[in-house]
Each structure stands twice: as C-alpha cells, then as structure tokens.
Copies of this chain bind each other. A is one copy, B any other.
C-alpha cells in the first residue's frame, strides 16, 4: 500500500538558512518598496477567504480602488495574480475569436497585448510608433475609423520606455465607433493622473507593486458597463477558468460564491496601500510624483545624463535615462547594487544597453531618494 510508510528520498532535502536580505532601495521599474504599514498589514493574522470579516475587507478594497482609478465601475476587483494576470484577464474576458482588436504598439507592453490577444483568437491590428513616442489623438482616430475594432488597447504608461500616452478625446472617439477602450495603467495608477470615467475607459488593469506600493502578487482590474455587456453577450465560454470574470463576479459581487481561494494576506496589504493613498489624497500624490521626477530630471542633466523621452510626454513614475557615451550600463547598475543597495534597471528591445530605467514610484517617490540616487549614480559612473 502506498499509504503505509513509503521510502522517502532525501536527495532534495536541502538545509537552507533563514532569509537575511540586504535592505534594497528599489528604484527600478518595479517592484518598488512599500510602507511599513503595508508590511504589517501583509502579516496580519489570517482569516478564511469566506469569513464574514473578509467581506468587509473586500468591499473596502473595491471602494478604494474606485477612488484611485476615479471610476464608478461596480466591477472593480483585485485579481489573484500579478499585473500580467490582470492584463490577461482583460483580454481573455473581452476577446471572442475573430474580434478585431486594435493595439497601440510603442514599446514592449503593447507587443505583449498583441501576443495575448492573438492567443484568444483576436484579429490583431497594430498601430505602431517608435519606442519612447506616443500616439496623437488624430492618429488613433484615423486607425479606429480604418480598422473598426471592437476593442482599442493602449498602454497609458509604457514601463519599457517611460512614455505617457495623452488621453484627450480618445474615449469619446471609441464610443462614436462603438469600440471598447482598454487601458494598461500598470505604471501610472497611483502615481500620475488617471481618471477612468472622465476618459471613458471601459477596461483597465494595474499592478500592486508599482505606484500603489504594495508587494507584487495582486492586480487591480475594472470593467465598466459596456465591457460587462460584451462579456455577458459572449457566445463562447471565457477560454480561461481562473480569470473568468463571469464566475469571479459572483465571488466579488453580493453572492460571495466560492470561485478560488483569494490571496487573503495580499488583499490585506493592498487595502492598506490604498488606505495610505486615500489619506494622502490623489492630488497631493500626483503632485509629489511630478515634483520628485522633475528634480530627478534636472539632477540627471547636471551629471551629464539626459532623459530619453521628450519632456512633453515623459512619465514621472519611470524615467528612461540615456547612458552616456563610453559608460557601461550594466557595470553602473551592478555598482549601485553592490555599493548602495540601490536597484535600477537596464532596458530591453531597441533600448537595450542605451538607457537605464529609474523608478520613483509611490512610497519611493521621495526627496531623499532623488538626492541619494543622483550622488550614487555619479559615483558609479566615475568608478564602475
């Protein structure tokens, strides 16, 4: 019988030490550091995911997400995964095979939207621009008129390039052409102005670990009434059980029907991160991100490092900074990690080796971090 003392193989029974990690300052493209209040909330004593006390926590988290996104969408929830899971959820639920999906591709995350949409059978149309550039409303309008998509997907803040897509009139254009507007707000939400309802955004998602300043592993998603209507009209089941929002809406809606076990502690952490945002207030938070980013950009110029993206659409939460001629980008990043415990990131695709990516997100968008980073970067460029 297998259940009577099978022989145990101890080959993989390794002895490992207790975790003891260096105090990293995470100034890359995310995850960012978070407040000790969030850390404490994360390790709050556990309760069950169907506990009556958890219901209140769910409701409060949903309501605070609506504030941060500036939306009245009833369907606003944290997805049990990272930002990529929420990204996939948005497409898995809304794309039916054959749907024309128009995607703005001006960096890595637009590429990824194309890949994901195609996996759900979309007829993907690409609107392309160089890495670091953004689309004009006219360009988008012409493309919508030409392709007549069911869904337009845009990246609000391109984490690969540091460009911020202006949103003027785009939502209205989508409504004119009966097209859903899907917006990636992973690196913008909680750091730069995002006003979903004012922009007529139908679907948006984000990640907890960028400007929200929560640990990675939980990801906000919101679907407006037009998106829910498309979901409810589907002729085929969502090709993804875990992310099927028609099932999940029963857990996050009034029925509270079991779907899967919510990541309870991650919800605790997200709720606390959102409370902090509500206490600070969005206007002050946006202003803080803008002020610290401006100080970073000025300081970078002073040490001979130019921001890559045009100031007009430069993203305050993530800066791409041009590696000066003759400087080894990787060696500088390694020096910062080794000598300062500061993490910044390189880039990939066409920007690989050409720029660093420096994040000042949420909790980390602070004067002291700007000053320290500039001094450290100067030392690293001199010594690496």
Contacts and interface: CB of A to CB of B under 8 A. Distances in A.
A265 B214 CA distance: 10
Contact of A271 (B1, B19, B33, B67): B19
B24 A51 contact: yes
A interface bracket (residues with beta carbon within 8 Å of B)? 35 or more
A81 B81 contact: yes
A23 to B, nearest CB: 6
Contact of A261 (B41, B67, B209, B266): B209
Contacts of A30: 261
A26 interface: yes
B44 A42 contact: no
Contacts of A92: 240
B10 A67 contact: yes
Interface stretch (A161-169, A176-184, A223-231, A324-332): A161-169
Contacts of A281: 8, 13
Interface in A1-53: 1-3, 5-6, 8-16, 19, 21-24, 26, 28, 30-31, 33-34, 39-53
Contacts of A168: 1-2
A46 B28 contact: no
B1 A216 contact: no
A84 B15 CA distance: 30
A368 interface: no
A45 B31 contact: no
B21 A216 contact: no
A207 interface: yes
Interface of A: 1-3, 5-6, 8-16, 19, 21-24, 26, 28, 30-31, 33-34, 39-53, 57, 60, 63-64, 66-67, 70, 72, 80-85, 87-88, 92, 112, 115-116, 118-120, 164, 166-168, 192-193, 195, 197-199, 207, 209, 215-218, 237-243, 258-266, 268, 271-272, 275, 278, 281-283, 337, 343, 345, 348
